[in-house]
């Protein structure tokens, strides 16, 4: 029987599953570049080591990179409630406030799950550049229940129990 993990270990394992099973996250963020540094129920802290492939033609972090992290961060904020399945995106918004950084810098962020309802979860993500300035803020709404066979995940409550991962991800580094 799989054991119950701490919110941090559980959320780090969710990241591991994204890196193993997704197409975008491992190519854009890479397991060694993106790190969950802290997690408690409803809140996830993370870092990204900025590399050239995260940047735009001005050699600063690309807005699309931040938008992808709003998507991932929102999912991780939902997972910090012990949910392995995190639903699907229904809305993503981001505001860019200050330069996020350049290659060699570390971008820090905080993802918060503001509310989980019966069918939607609402999350916010804040990004901080290496100067500690608020570089951007995003919001991400996740659909949690099946609306039809093609569009939504059927429920995100963890069948195994809160903070318990599927067997293939039970070995946490």
* Percent composition of the chain: helix, strand, coil (DSSP 3-state, to 5): 25, 30, 45
CATH code of the domain containing 128: 3.10.129.10
The end-to-end CA distance of the chain, in Å, is 18
* Domain presence at residue 78: yes
Please tell me the total count of domains within the chain. 1
Does the pLDDT of residue 172 top 50, yes or no?
no
Percent with pLDDT over 70 in the chain: 82
What's the whole-model pTM score?
0.85
| The pLDDT value given to residue 147 | 52
**151 or 112, greater pLDDT:** 112
Q: Which domain holds residue 66?
A: 7-16+31-164
* Domain presence at residue 2: no
């Amino acid at each position: 029987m799989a054991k119950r993990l701490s919110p941090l270990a559980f959320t780090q394992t969710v990241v591991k599953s994204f890196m193993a099973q997704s197409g975008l996250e491992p190519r854009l963020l890479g397991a060694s570049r993106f790190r969950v540094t802290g997690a408690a129920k409803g809140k996830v802290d993370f870092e990204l080591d900025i590399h050239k492939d995260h940047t735009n033609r001005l050699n600063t972090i690309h807005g699309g990179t931040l938008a992808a992290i709003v998507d991932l961060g929102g999912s991780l904020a939902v997972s910090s409630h012990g949910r392995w399945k995190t639903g699907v995106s229904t809305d993503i918004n981001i505001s860019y406030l200050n330069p996020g950084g350049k290659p060699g810098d570390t971008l820090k962020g905080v993802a918060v799950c503001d509310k989980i309802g019966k069918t939607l979860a609402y999350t916010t993500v804040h990004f901080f550049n290496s100067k500690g300035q608020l570089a951007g803020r995003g919001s991400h709404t996740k659909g949690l229940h099946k609306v039809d066979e093609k569009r939504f995940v059927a429920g995100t409550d963890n069948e195994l129990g809160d903070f318990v991962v599927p067997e293939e991800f039970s070995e946490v580094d």
